[in-house]
A and B are shown apart, each in its own frame.
Chain A
């Protein structure tokens, strides 16, 4: 199975969004991962989790309120 480059954690509660992001980032090693979340708390947790493992995070908010976080390394 290839690792997903997209991760949808909308509606999941702590710590799952950050945990799943970390697992996906460690599995990828480098490249790009896009994470979707609908919570501002999860958004900041995901960005911090990415930064702690050396990934750069860029976030845009879509019209329906979803945060699209692009993590690159």
Chain B
């Protein structure tokens, strides 16, 4: 156990995790997930929001088993290595807001940092503007951190606090399998939730067990290695530490080679799957998302893994993302392959103003 633990903490932990993600994600696409969307933590939480009826965008509704696997895989690793630690109380309301804006920004770009790298590895050059935006957002976040930004301390909590997200994940799995119809329309006909897309990205998915299995493996590895696609660049700049960045590089290389082997590497700007070509707002959306992730302390994947090991603050962020997806698809904030949503540019600017206020004002408050 000790040797395994040491291995994952070593430089090889994030690299192994990145390699596994880079190989599994294109395979999930091969088996049915949308193009360059083997894993997308933002898109998948958005699909879950849709399946639960929190938005009615008919093309993006599915309970993604990968997310369930992320939570339960991280839980398993945390229990096995005695790291399951219920905790919370570090500015939950602000974390909820950060989760909302992170999701909204990601949906203007059409992908979280994971998918930004996976899109690049699939030849979608529109991702470059998004990744530049992500770097800019992380850079802004670092400026706030250097100025003393802090969400304050968490405290140990009762066990039940730590079990909420794992139980939510199991409940989602039950809803996915049973797909009950609770609602009734005006004529008394049974309707959702749960809603599942019949066309569009939400209808494209790998077989349940494959998706769940991939999620479990990635969740387990990432909990051990602390894999984080935002911490990667942040730590290089802030701490001169490339530990996590090596993991992202491994992901990029592995995903590129796997895409090549599977005939899924299609370079270009036009006609890319679930993507638009508006470089300005690909950039802008990811500035907003990158800043929100940095202020919250990690990428959406990392937040999901932490929520599986008892971190209620990360769980609040994830729930903020799910609600943010509901808002994004109800108020025409999210982009689509046709282009940027009607209110997408406006919300990016509004979101940046709000995050600047948060970044400048949140400080650790010490009790007397």
Contacts and interface: CB of A to CB of B under 8 A. Distances in A.
Interface of A: 10-16, 18-19, 22, 38-41, 44, 48-49, 52
Interface string B226-269: 10100100110011110100000000000000000000000000
The majority secondary structure among interface residues of chain A is helix
A38 B311 CA distance: 13
A14 B153 contact: no
B145 A15 contact: yes
A10 to B, nearest CB: 7
B316 interface: no
The majority secondary structure among interface residues of chain B is loop
Contacts of A40: 83
Contacts of A38: 156
A49 B241 contact: yes
Given A10-B153, A15-B231, A16-B150, A48 B241 contact: yes
Given A13-B154, A18-B235, A22-B239, 11 more contacts: A11-B153, A12-B364, A13-B313, A14-B297, A15-B231, A15-B234, A15-B238, A15-B297, A16-B145, A44-B9, A52-B240
Contacts of A11: 87, 90, 152-155
Interface string B79-107: 00001010100100000000000000000
B178 to A, nearest CB: 36
Nearest to A12: B153
Contacts of A22: 238-239
B286 interface: no
The listed residue with most A CB atoms (<10 A of its CB), out of B156, B226, B240, B241, is B241
Contacts of A48: 241, 243
B118 interface: no
B239 A19 contact: yes
A19 to B, nearest CB: 6
Contacts of A15: 145, 231, 234-235, 238-239, 297
A12 B241 contact: no
Nearest to B6: A44
